[in-house]
Copies of this chain bind each other. A is one copy, B any other.
């Protein structure tokens, strides 16, 4: 095994070999750095990379005991997470060179678990809409999606096996889908948000990227301390329900085809696949998510909005203006609607373990000026349910396609297990289930 192929290995496999001292952290980190050196000028997934510091840290780990779940694993961290050893600019020129006083909780916990932070990955401006310029490694003329553009692209391009991001609307699931990797947005509240640039308190959620479901479970277990997420092996076939959602008319032929492929593939593999038609109430959640985010952004980004208006992108400024027009009464109504929908969604699952639903309208769209539509993610973020994007096919032009698996609130392990089961069955690759 040469270090040049270590960058394509899953995090879980790397961890096994690192724990047995069959490979060194330095080798793993060198493999990551070599890939970044080769490809970063084209992909643009990073705001900064600290090669020397990462190598020093890797050598230190190699000389000590195994530190934790992520011992020696290269990690990318989205640049909305505060880090003491990297500048943290939140995708905005307002914060150029900002060096926070403390690591975000996720950064600190991942480092404690032995991760080697390679650098910070790109984000749209404040994790909202204005793109970072990152390219989709599967086709460089196309968007990687956002807002966690760099984390998805870096994992898809074999630069790192693991990366963290966030999701307020569709910022984990969409870039995972466009780049063809696994993305996992946990149940709201499962992972601490301390030290993340806040955009919308009701919605901001930490997200995880890897190339297998087992790997996102590993990363999430380290970041949350919930080791139940390590067990991604389903006991028997999960009970699925296809949930096309009220947004289904917006799904293009690729998404329709992916859904058909999943339905027949899962049924063929022995799973029970039902269908869930959501009550009308759920057709209102997309708009509620937009308004709740806009209302809360006006407040969360008050400092920047008030003092640095000229350095805010036009697109974000428009959203902030929209947010300014939403009254406290209307926000209250939106929150009450969301509460009601959250209360009722458990019963909607019926006897199903998980739902499968579109992640995106279709393949990653061409161009770098827009990160694509968030329409298929807004509702699930607002509901706070665990979502796992599973890539398993390609669209008409050959770009990655997949679907998201959605679990009950708090049933993150079950969602990961169903996603891993589906990933293995639909890709025919027995390794991806592990």
Q: Which residues of A contact B (CB under 8 A)?
A: 84, 95, 98, 100-105, 107-109, 111-112, 189, 192-195, 197-198, 201-202, 224-228, 296, 298-304, 306-307, 328-329, 332, 335, 343, 410
Chain B hits for A100, CB < 8 A = 100-101
CB distance from A278 to the nearest CB of B (A): 22
* Cβ-defined partner of A108 (8 Å) among B192, B198, B201, B303: B303
* Cβ-defined partner of A228 (8 Å) among B193, B225, B328: B328
Chain B hits for A193, CB < 8 A = 198, 201
CB distance from A106 to the nearest CB of B (A): 8
Chain B hits for A227, CB < 8 A = 328
- Beyond A112-B306, A299-B225, A328-B224, whether A95 also contacts B105 by CB under 8 A is no
A304 to B112, CA, bound (A): 12
Chain B hits for A335, CB < 8 A = 189
A256 to B226, CA, bound (A): 44
- Beyond A108-B306, A189-B202, whether A410 also contacts B332 by CB under 8 A is yes
CB distance from A398 to the nearest CB of B (A): 41
CB distance from A355 to the nearest CB of B (A): 21
What residue of chain B has the Cβ atom nearest to residue A98's Cβ?
A: B101
Chain B hits for A306, CB < 8 A = 108, 111-112
Chain B hits for A198, CB < 8 A = 105, 192-195
Q: Which one of A201, A228, A299 has the greatest number of beta carbons of chain B within 10 Å?
A: A299
A201 to B335, CA, bound (A): 18
**B192–A328 touching, CB < 8 Å:** no
A429 to B224, CA, bound (A): 52
**B189–A299 touching, CB < 8 Å:** no
Q: Told that A104-B303, A194-B302 touch, could you supply 10 new A-B pairs with CB distance under 8 A?
A: A84-B303, A108-B306, A109-B299, A109-B302, A111-B306, A192-B300, A195-B303, A225-B299, A227-B328, A228-B328
- Beyond A192-B201, A193-B198, A335-B189, whether A300 also contacts B105 by CB under 8 A is yes
A300 to B193, CA, bound (A): 8
Chain B hits for A192, CB < 8 A = 198, 201, 296, 299-300, 302
Q: Which one of A103, A108, A335, A410 has the greatest number of beta carbons of chain B within 10 Å?
A: A108
What residue of chain B has the Cβ atom nearest to residue A196's Cβ?
A: B198
Chain B hits for A296, CB < 8 A = 192
Chain B hits for A224, CB < 8 A = 299, 328
A95 to B64, CA, bound (A): 29
**A300–B194 touching, CB < 8 Å:** yes
Chain B hits for A194, CB < 8 A = 197-198, 201, 299-302
A100 to B298, CA, bound (A): 20
Q: Which one of A109, A192, A332 has the greatest number of beta carbons of chain B within 10 Å?
A: A192
Chain B hits for A300, CB < 8 A = 105, 192, 194
What residue of chain B has the Cβ atom nearest to residue A224's Cβ?
A: B328
CB distance from A412 to the nearest CB of B (A): 10
CB distance from A97 to the nearest CB of B (A): 9
16 A-B residue pairs with Cβ-Cβ distance under 8 Å, sorted by A, are A95-B101, A103-B307, A104-B303, A105-B302, A105-B303, A108-B306, A109-B299, A112-B306, A189-B202, A192-B201, A192-B299, A194-B197, A194-B300, A224-B299, A224-B328, A227-B328
**A108–B302 touching, CB < 8 Å:** yes
A302 to B111, CA, bound (A): 10
A302 to B100, CA, bound (A): 15
